[in-house]
């Protein structure tokens, strides 16, 4: 018997559930490790508000929220927002939004597989050979799953670090880029700037390698200036940076 549309939907849904379970497990591993590492760093800076109870609370909070989003078929993602302001320039900011990328990926895969099997049926390929197409198709999509997992891992690390800063009383953070030609222009403009922690840019754009580090000493003891807004004005022709 040939593979039918309901069979394809069942297989794709099971694959989606596998990815969901993997992402949740990844969160359960990455978040406490990052929180503990951040806590050790803050302890060296004599941030005494950071305790085991605080660390455990941060982990529970992030993993619970992340699990809720994954089960809804996506995650919170960071997007760059580019607003034209005239004279060939744009105002660049960031925002965090829920993106149903897991559901979207499943719908795309269902459509691709239905088309694949429809063509196989038209060509008279034996049903047993059609069934084998599922395995070969998903082998070809493995790279997408790995890339998604890496992107989510980085977002989890950023969230865990920032929550650890906030819960331990950090007031200021400094923006640091990778410092190479692949850095997005608005990220390069933020490099080295210090922000009040609640005014800092969102981190986690696709392929972004920037970090935010604790900067209370720089402000309170060294008197370094702070930046109140993440917005950067850049030439519209420069908006294609990648990292």
Q: Is the pLDDT of residue 28 over 80?
A: yes
Q: Is the pLDDT of residue 4 over 80?
A: no
For the beta sheet containing 75-86, the strands, ordered from the edge strand earlier in sequence to the opposite edge, are 75-86, 89-99, 232-235
Residue 212: closest CA among 225, 234, 195, 227: 195
Q: What pLDDT sits at residue 200?
A: 95
The stretch 18-45 carries a mean pLDDT of 92
| Alpha-carbon distances of 151 from 33, 63, 96, 144, rounded to whole Å | 17, 16, 15, 11
Going by pLDDT thresholds of 50, 70 and 90, the confidence category of residue 6 is confident
Flag the least confident range among 5-14, 38-47, 65-74, 112-121. Answer: 112-121
Q: Are 177 and 188 in contact (CB under 8 A)?
A: yes
| Residue located via tokens 């972004």 | 208
- What whole-number distance in Å separates Cα of residue 187 and Cα of residue 80? 10
Q: pLDDT tens across 205-226, in order?
A: 888 889 999 999 999 999 999 9
- What whole-number distance in Å separates Cα of residue 154 and Cα of residue 219? 27
Q: pLDDT tens across 140-191, in order?
A: 777 777 888 888 999 999 999 999 999 988 999 999 999 898 899 999 999 9
Q: Are 192 and 175 in contact (CB under 8 A)?
A: yes
Residue 100: closest CA among 24, 159, 16: 16
Q: What pLDDT sits at residue 7?
A: 76
What pTM was estimated for this model as a whole? 0.85
Q: Would you kindly state where each structural domain of the chain is located, as residue ranges?
A: 5-238
Residue 201 has a CB neighbour count (10 Å cut-off) of 25
Q: What pLDDT sits at residue 158?
A: 93
Q: Is the pLDDT of residue 82 over 60?
A: yes
Q: Are 243 and 208 in contact (CB under 8 A)?
A: yes
Q: Is the pLDDT of residue 1 over 50?
A: no
Tokens of 12: 């794709």
């Amino acid at each position: 018997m040939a593979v039918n549309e309901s069979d394809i939907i069942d297989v794709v849904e099971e694959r989606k559930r596998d990815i969901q379970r993997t992402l949740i497990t990844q969160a359960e591993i990455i978040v406490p490790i990052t929180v503990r590492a951040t806590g050790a760093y803050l302890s060296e800076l004599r941030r005494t508000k950071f305790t085991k109870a605080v660390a455990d609370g941060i982990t529970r909070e992030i993993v619970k929220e992340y699990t809720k989003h994954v089960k809804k078929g996506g995650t919170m993602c960071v997007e760059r927002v580019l607003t034209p302001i005239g004279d060939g320039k744009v105002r660049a900011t960031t925002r965090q939004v829920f993106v149903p990328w897991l559901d979207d990926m499943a719908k795309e895969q269902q459509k691709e597989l239905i088309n694949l099997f429809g063509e196989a049926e038209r060509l008279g390929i034996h049903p047993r050979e059609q069934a084998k197409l599922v395995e070969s198709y998903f082998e070809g999509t493995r790279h997408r799953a790995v890339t998604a997992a890496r992107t989510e891992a980085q977002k989890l690390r950023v969230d865990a670090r920032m929550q650890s800063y906030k819960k331990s009383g950090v007031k200021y953070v400094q923006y640091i880029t990778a410092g190479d030609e692949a850095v997005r222009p608005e990220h390069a403009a933020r490099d080295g700037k210090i922000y009040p922690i609640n005014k800092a840019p969102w981190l986690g754009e696709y392929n972004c390698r920037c970090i935010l580090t604790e900067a209370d000493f720089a402000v309170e003891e060294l008197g370094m200036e702070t930046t109140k807004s993440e917005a950067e004005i850049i030439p519209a022709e420069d908006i294609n940076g990648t990292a």
